[in-house]
Structure formats: C-alpha cells, structure tokens
Amino acid sequence: EVQLVESGGGLVKPGGSLRLSCETSGFTFSHAWMSWVRQAPGKGLEWVGRIKSKIDGGTSDYAAPVQGRFSISRDDSKNTLYLHMSSLKIDDTAVYYCASLGRDQRISPLRPFDWLSFWGQGIQVTVSS
C-alpha cells in the first residue's frame, strides 16, 4: 500500500523558516518524481514545486511565488522528501501536500507525467505574527 506522511508543519512568524518532511512507503521512492502542492484556507490547489529522481538528474523546479524562498530535496536512503521554506509570508499559510507523479509505461517507459497519483494527508503551515 502506498503511503505518504507529511510532518513538520506548525505556526511560524513572518520571515521565519520551516522544513516539511514527507515519509513514503509502498513504492520505489528513488525512481519517483515528487511534487508539493498547497491549498490555502477555503481555496483551490496550487502547485509549489517538483523534484526529479536522482537518476533523472535530481533537479527541482518551483512556482513563481516561492522561487528563491523554497527548496525541495530528497533522501532516497530514508524514502523521504523535504520542503525547505524560508522568508515565509502570511500568504504561504496553507495545507501542504506531497504527491508522487504518475506513470504510463505505454506512452513513456522512461519518465513520469505530471498528474499526481498519490497524495499525503497534508500538513498545516500557518504564518502569523
């Protein structure tokens, strides 16, 4: 059974930092491309960023609102994904989800596609003074 479990959320002051973790099981994490998506209170879904597998380069990409402030990393030995958040703003208040990208071997055996197959339960991050 695939499981993704986020942790590390909480209350932080504007300008502060926080690191979220996403511990995974039930699939080969080292092969997976992973994303973070957030959802502000009462709002829709917003893509935050994505990291490729190390074998595919391990590079990461970010949405414009978080570029330069957030970074994504991974520890394949621990099957864990991270989201490092700094210079936090009130607008960063949201539930943060980690998710794994989908695969379709018939179309591309080599790389995933950017639909989100499995999601964690989410973790609340509140930025407030």
Q: Which residues bind another protein (CB under 8 A)?
A: 35, 37, 44-47, 49-50, 61, 63, 97, 102, 104, 107-108, 113-122
SS (H, E, C) the chain: CCEEEEECCEEECCCCCEEEEEEEECCCHHHCCEEEEEECCCCCEEEEEEECCHHHCCCEEECCCCCCCEEEEEECCCCEEEEEECCCCHHHCEEEEEEEEECCCCCCCCCCEEEEEEECCCEEEEECC
Query: What's the closest the beta carbon of residue 62 comes to another protein, in angstroms?
Result: 9
Query: What's the closest the beta carbon of residue 30 comes to another protein, in angstroms?
Result: 19
- Which of 14, 115 has the CB closer to another protein? 115
- Which of 78, 111 has the CB closer to another protein? 111
